Structure 1
Amino acid sequence: MAASQAVTIAALTVVDSVRKRNQVTERFPSAPPRELPVDKGAVTIYTKGRALYDDMLAAIDGAVDRIYFETYIWKDDRVGRRFKDALIRAAERGVDVFCAYDVFGNLVVKQSFFKFPASVHVLRHLPWSGLRGPIVRRSPGLNHRKMLIVDDEVAFVGGYNIGSLYANRWRDTHARVTGEAVADLANAFVDYWNQISPKGSPYLESPTDRAWESPIRVTRNVPSVGVYPIRYSYLEAIDRASERIWLTHAYLIPDDDLTLALLEAADRGVDVRIIVPAESNHIVADWLSRGFYALLLSRGIRLFLYQNAMVHAKTATIDGMWSTIGTANLDRLSLMGNYEINIEITDADVAAEMESIFAMDAGNCIELTLTEWQNRPLAAKISEKVITPLRPLL
């Protein structure tokens, strides 16, 4: 079996390499960012990287006190250098600047790019960061989070990494948040920094004005202490659904409990729709995801394949009231392995905007039917069977 899996993966990789070389990126729809009042703050949803980056850079340039910046991938390109230069400028004018990036996520980036002046505090996250002692019992975890918090007044969180590729060629979702939830996002960075940073690093103080109850909740996975609440937030929301569940995800490799929750929702008449990329940037993840299609379609769940661009969003909106935007994919790595962070928003206006964005994206999709899927080539069916045992790894 291992030999068959290796051959299958090698063949898929070759095919994917040829596809990417010949790929022509076409335009895809996006919604203009619109600020939506939520309780004592607001949420702005971004579906185009260029607009997001402009607002993030403006926030950095306007910082007067502190900046917390965290990303999984940080490219050494025009966009990546704009962020690096902006952070250095902020530090030079006296702003306390703290940055964290994942080493694994940036293996192809020259490490010289991550050389900063001493005025910028930089944390390199290694997969084993924060695990101390002779016996390691917990997942090491990649840092898959993407956040920017400025002056404890405004925060950005979502699926966008930092790079020119993502500015206008990938369809992703990010949120700008003001109000009480900013303190919770800042606290998430502070906790991470104080736990993971090496000895001698500055100790950060947690915000003291965090609200007990808010329509915007921050949910974060912390592998170093074995805490993974994002998975349970999805399970709880899906279980509560009575009308509709609309998901948009880059990689759809749910575990048994999540799969069952979606199937049971469809069985009780909930309108379950899922947007996934027709072809993502990870071909093995695509084929693992496709192994779920027959079961989902046979139970009435509708699948939409996004065309002409990589959809990298990690979002859901349920029953016109509950929505989530964040960094966690619906796969084992995100839900039970990585450092991840999502916001949950209980607000009808935000849900309406999320539904509008979902409808826009669905218009750029081809809906997959059960008959079409059952008639796929035999070679595809065999390949899916061969690599199915690899699901627990992703």
Structure 2
Amino acid sequence: MGLHPKGYDLSLDRIRRLLDVLGNPQTRLPPVIHVAGTNGKGSATAFCRALLEAQGLSVHVHTSPHLVRWHERYRIGVKGGAGRLVADELFADALRRVADANGGKPITVFEILTAVTFILFSEQPADVAIIEVGLGGRFDATNVIEKPAVSIIQPISLDHQAYLGDRVELIAAEKAGIMKRGAPVVIGHQEFDGAKDVLISTAERLGCPLTVFSQDFLGYEEFGRLVYQDEFGLMDLPLPRLPGRHQIGNAATAIRAVKAAGFPVTDQIAEKAMLSVEWPGRLQRLTDGALVDHAPVGAEIWLDGGHNPGAGEVIAEAMAAMEEKQARPLHLIVGMINTKDPIGYFRAFTDIAHDVYTVPILGSDVGLDPVALAQSAAEAGLKALPMSSVGEALEAIRIRSADSAPPRIMIGGSLYLAGNVLAQNGSIPT
């Protein structure tokens, strides 16, 4: 991070040059499931991994960003079991080789890490690789994969406007850049018709076998179960282990994508996957740890790294659903970076949150000042108070809740903050 710029180089020239020196490892990967979208990329990745591992396959997984440790970006597949985060020695060796191949030329951190992905995933045997896009799609460093087994496009909304455009149609065009001529495409739930139209027209122009959520396949809740439906019939499944109604659509998209990639999904496989899927930092419940000890006794504490208005709406819906089942006062603890839309994020919680405590993001030079962030919350119609840390915010909620029912606390606004919380709480992803 000290040697290379943290920004994005929205072209493929540098990564192609670097991979050429390395012998083009991206051409020697197992079948690839390539995942793009504004929200829900990580959840779709987690469901695909669970569905594939449930049938005994070895699955490499690339995600970004990491929450606590860089190693989280690379899960190395294990035949017949759950994959493991990359070993330190293997990771260090790949990084050294990329540095040598680059020879001191200008390069971004993400381009380096993407080259590491292709080295690791080409040299360690596996049945399939799931590769999540970093930013956008068309010029993302991962987009040198020539023929994915399937491309998934998850929900698209406004985010990274400085890089991708200020309308969902423009952002959709960038995300659609991962589609490759003739390769299957699965489009997940899209809130905006304009975005969906762009994705469909791009897939049709490229001659991609296409399936679209709500048109060609469905996922919905019925009688406390997940019902998945496509042209092959119905599956009656348990609700996903990941909480939130939005995960039903993510699960359905993953089931359809794994099928489109040529892997079987039986009822038994899907049921096992729904019960085993995991994805840290996304509506993750914290039940014990160093930070949790600061909270009121009996408090329900949730952590989610969603950071844009679309994510705010999904999280708020999940909180509202929890409120229907068990009423508790909802307190928010939020930290954000300065490239996001805090007012848009906070508006989703206007009718359900009791108050907001804004906090800094440790180790980030782009975190919003808690005072400025509290002002944004106030502009969205919420009572807000700046704090110096998550621990201090939890203490304040504990004092304020001393004479009332145990509260529900949602900590969020940034994946970087989620990483801070997991590290401080002693809940490091494995």
In which range does the TM-score fall when normalised by the shorter chain? Answer: 0.3 to 0.5
TM-score, normalising length: structure 1: 0.35
TM-score, normalising length: structure 2: 0.33
- Which one has the bigger strand percentage? 1
